[in-house]
Structure 1
Amino acid sequence: MARVSADVRRELLVEAAIRVMVRDGVAAATTRSIVAEAGMPLGAFHYCFRSKQELLENVIATITGHTLDRMLEVLKGAGGFEDKLRAGLDAYWQHVLSHPDEHRVTYELTQYALRRPGLAALAKRQYESYLEANTRVLEALAEGCGVTWTVPVPVLARYTASVVDGLTLLYLNEGDDRAAGAALDLAASHVVGLARPVP
């Protein structure tokens, strides 16, 4: 492999880990399988990460970023409040539909962490990152569209994270994209009703 910075190597290892997890499962994502997937020597892993937990934290952040970045980009576009909210949710949902196995990995990661001594904090941090992502989207919507929320943002972030997470898991197990889309549309309508124009 050509000489690259530690940051680039770290990103390549994280993406390799995601590919291994999607293909073979989280438990099969050993340091050896990850570096082999990335085409790097074993020492590269220990140079880039202090532990497997640090790698898994980066995997969660990266997968979350795959959808969060899309949503935030959509919110910068044209349109009113409701259009942007629905477009943001659609950006997330299209990623679920086109990368279902990546989303399955997130649920597998949660259970993997909860069942491994010393990794329970990873599962907690995973869901904290979802709350942070939802908070960022809600705050960006409010600021960009001149609205205020009628409920506290931390409460609304927890509500939207729960709805989206639940609908994603239901879809991944049921496979009915039309039913999931209709439920997501209902959730969007509810969230729209929780905003008011800034006086």
Structure 2
Amino acid sequence: MPRVSADTRRDLLVEAAIRVMVRDGVAKATVRSIVAEAEMPLGVFHYCFRSKEELLNQVIETIAGHTVEPALDELRRPGTLQERLDGAVNAYWRHVVANPDEHRVTYELTSYAVRQAGLEHMARTQYEKYIESFTAVLDLLASGAGVTWRVPVPVLSRYLTAMVDGVTLLWLNEGGDDRLARQALDCAVTYLLDQAEPVS
């Protein structure tokens, strides 16, 4: 392939890994299958990543970024607190509906990690990253709207992680009832709005 930077090669390998995992499952996503998907020599992988674990962590971050970044963009737009929250939820849900298999990979990665000796911590790290993302959302909302939260942010971020993660998993496994899933997410939005109070 043309000469490209190590960072670009890393990104290409991560996207190739996601495609392989979506198609074949996490357990079958070997280093050889990933570099073949990326159309790179095997040696390039070891140049870009110290281990498969490092790649898997990057896969988790990348998939999370596919949903978090569009949501954060919506939160930065002008509008009321509810309008910005609704926009963020819409951005997240559009990605889920358009890429259900990518989201299935995230759950498969969790199960895979907890059953692999030496990788158990990856599942914990995965959810720590989700909590960090929701903490960033709450901080961005609070600063932009001039509000504070009645519930401590560490608690609220865990509530949101559990709600969004649970609704997504349920939607993936019950056959994709968009209407009910969105109504459930709207309940979380309503709850969050109730926790906001103006900064005195």
TM-score, reference length from structure 1: 0.98
Q: Which amino acid aligns with 1:69?
A: E
Where 2:4 maps in the other structure, the secondary structure is coil
Q: Does 1:104 align with 2:104?
A: yes
Cα distance, 1:186 vs. partner?
A: 1.1
User: CA offset at residue 177 of structure 1?
Assistant: 1.0
Question: 2:26 is matched with which residue?
Answer: 26
Confirm whether residue 2 of structure 1 aligns to residue 2 of structure 2. yes
User: 2 CA distance for matches of 1:44 and 1:163?
Assistant: 39
Specify the code of the residue in structure 2 equivalent to 1:57. N
Q: Give the corresponding residue for 1:86.
A: 86
Gapped regions of structure 1 (runs ≥ 5): none
Which stretches in structure 2 are left out of the alignment for 5+ residues?
none
State the AA in 1 paired with 2:95: H
Shift of 1:187: 1.2
Look up the SS of the partner of 2:118 in the other structure. Answer: coil
Q: CA deviation at 1:114?
A: 0.5
State the partner residue of 2:191.
190
For these two proteins, the number of residue pairs brought into alignment is 199
Query: Partners in 2 of 1:90 and 1:159 — Cα distance?
Result: 19
Query: Displacement, 1:102?
Result: 0.3
State the percentage of identical aligned residues.
63
2: CA distance, partners of 1:179 / 1:13: 36
Q: Distance in 2 between matches of 1:146 and 1:91?
A: 23
RMSD: 0.7
Question: Shift of the alpha carbon at 1:137?
Answer: 0.6
Residue 16 of structure 1 deviates from its aligned partner by 0.4
**SS of match in other structure, 1:148:** strand
Offset of residue 77 of structure 1: 1.0
Determine the C-alpha separation between the residues in 1 that align with 2:96 and 2:192: 20
